[in-house]
């Protein structure tokens, strides 16, 4: 489902503005506005002296799920 939504957004961004309906045009404009804002954001993370940073493994049981994700990323 997420892959389909990303594909939909990519199609919207690839089209000319005059080919889009009002909703698609709004989505396109929001992405373009974000593209202007992103470079101004800080890329350094804020660290707090009392914070605890951890990582953990994600247990993926079903190999079909892995294949589904990889196929979505590679197409």
pLDDT in tens, 19-59: 999 999 999 999 999 999 888 887 776 666 666 666 766 66
pTM: 0.53
Is the model more confident about 1 or about 19? Answer: 19
Q: Which pLDDT score is estimated for 18?
A: 94
Residue 14 predicted with pLDDT over 90: yes
Dmax over CA atoms of the chain, in Å, equals 52
Residues 6 or more apart whose CB falls under 8 angstroms from that of 12 comprise 20, 24, 27, 28, 31
Q: What is the C-alpha separation between 15 and 10, in angstroms, rounded?
A: 9
pLDDT for the residue numbered 62: 60
Pair 3, 72: CB distance under 8 Å: yes
User: CB–CB of 26/12 below 8 Å?
Assistant: no
Q: Are the beta carbons of 36 and 29 closer than 8 angstroms?
A: no
pLDDT of 75 > 60? The answer is no
């Amino acid at each position: 489902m997420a892959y389909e939504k990303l594909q939909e957004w990519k199609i919207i961004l690839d089209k000319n503005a005059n080919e889009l309906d009002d909703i698609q045009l709004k989505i396109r404009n929001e992405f373009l506005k974000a593209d202007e804002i992103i470079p101004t954001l800080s890329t350094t993370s804020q660290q707090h002296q009392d914070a605890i940073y951890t990582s953990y493994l994600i247990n993926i049981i079903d190999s079909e799920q892995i294949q589904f994700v990889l196929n979505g990323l590679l197409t």
